Homo-oligomer: A and B are copies of this chain.
Amino acid sequence: MAAQTVASTTESTVDLGPAAALSCRECGHRVPLGPVFACEECFGPLEIAYDFSAYDAEELRKRIEAGPANIWRYAPLLPVPADVADKPNLNPGWTKLVKADHLANELGVDAGKLFVKDDSGNPTHSFKDRVVAQALEAARAFGFTTLSCSSTGNLAGAVGAAAARAGFRSCVFIPHDLEQGKVVMAAIYGGELVGIEGNYDDVNRFCSELIGDPAGEGWGFVNVNLRPYYAEGSKTLAYEICEQLGWQLPDQLVVPIASGSQLTKIDKGLQELIKLGLVEDKPYKIFGAQAEGCSPVSTAFKAGHDVVRPQKPNTIAKSLAIGNPADGPYVLDIARRTGGFVEDVTDEQVVDAIKILARTEGIFAETAGGVTVGVTKKLIENGVLDPTRTTVVLNTGDGLKTLDAVAGTGLTATIRPNLDSFREAGLA
């Protein structure tokens, strides 16, 4: 009887496919699916609990392979309705997994063993399209009509674009003094773009206030009240990497750390594939990558701490500049459990790594991609990452969005328009 009562109170009435309930990551308390993000018992973070019990591995694999060339091929594993691919959304994902033999050669990795998962190919050119697409479907299911977020960059554009495609109103909050280029990238989609007189912390505080106020009714804040759904989008990176490797786990992954959510969800995705029998169970190592100017997690990892001490960010890798990462402790757990490591690189190394990746593979990465490639290089040099094993490095954004970081790059020669001048420059 008691068990039945519990089942009844955790029953969800919205259709989000295999998502059965929300479950607290700390105490396991379950509540029905809804726009909530903190456990009512212990204030721990809520995440999606799934019912995958009906799946047969072979049937599921075939169903996925016959699906569309975007994240909705994994709809059976995501908190979305079965007909999600028919609804208007940006359909991100299924980005390229690039076999990076020239980069491997440069870094001393065995040929055929190094891959770059290039998420700059998403609709608004960052991995944020994956998480926003999940939040949008949750917003639809809960009857929200406005999509919102606080942001200083990639997320603002991803939310504006997704809302436009889906026919939602959007209202994005940013610090009022952002660079003009970033404002244009966010404003072009025609939603409300509100500058807050204050810094990013002020913007966040205001958003929390708005959620609790009647004025925020009907608003889905992708990274606040829709966060449990939003965060699941990062699982699709794990699914795609394994499917693109021929349904195999990589031996090593190098993942950037901002809040740490992406890394924890990639681990969750890999564990799901193992449990579902879609990949063979074998050890893998997850390595976290930070910029030295915002390295609270790598600092804690190296010091052997379980808690992460907040840091005031000062780095060109602005999309990773979260000084108090919510999922920091979970990242430490995962890196230690899998035998990985958390490392950081200087801004100079970030810029060098951006150039190395562009020169060797023709991929122009955002600063976050410079962080992962730079950390990969450092981990190999230090003997921490095994250059003989299959390794996947994430590039989560596009270099066109952080042109300032490499502004010094320029002409290799200037000549007059004739062959003599060409020869004098030593170009022949």
A residues with a Cβ closer than 8 A to B are 69, 88, 90-91, 94, 96, 99, 101-102, 121, 123-125, 157, 160-165, 167, 171, 176, 180-181, 183-185, 187-198, 202-203, 205-206, 209-210, 213, 215, 354-355, 358-364, 398-401, 403, 406-407, 409-419, 422-423, 425, 427-428
Contact = CB atoms under 8 A, between A and B. Distances in A.
A255 B102 CA distance: 37
A403 B185 contact: yes
A417 B185 contact: no
Nearest to A175: B417
Contacts of A188: 354-355, 358, 364, 399, 406, 409
Contacts of A418: 206, 209
Given A188-B399, A193-B411, 6 more contacts: A123-B362, A164-B359, A171-B427, A181-B403, A210-B422, A398-B400
Contacts of A96: 91, 123
Contact of A407 (B184, B406, B409): B184
Copies of this chain present: 2
Contact of A411 (B88, B176, B205): B176
Contacts of A360: 164
Of all A-B residue pairs in the complex, the 9 with the closest CB atoms, nearest first, are: A190-B359, A161-B362, A165-B362, A164-B362, A215-B428, A206-B417, A195-B414, A202-B417, A400-B400
Nearest to A202: B417
Contacts of A414: 176, 194-197
B69 A416 contact: no
Contacts of A417: 196-198, 202-203, 205-206
B364 A411 contact: no
A300 to B, nearest CB: 31
Contacts of A398: 125, 400
Contacts of A209: 418-419
A167 B99 CA distance: 13
16 contacts: A90-B362, A102-B165, A102-B167, A123-B363, A124-B362, A161-B364, A162-B362, A176-B414, A180-B407, A180-B410, A183-B410, A183-B411, A188-B358, A188-B406, A193-B413, A213-B419
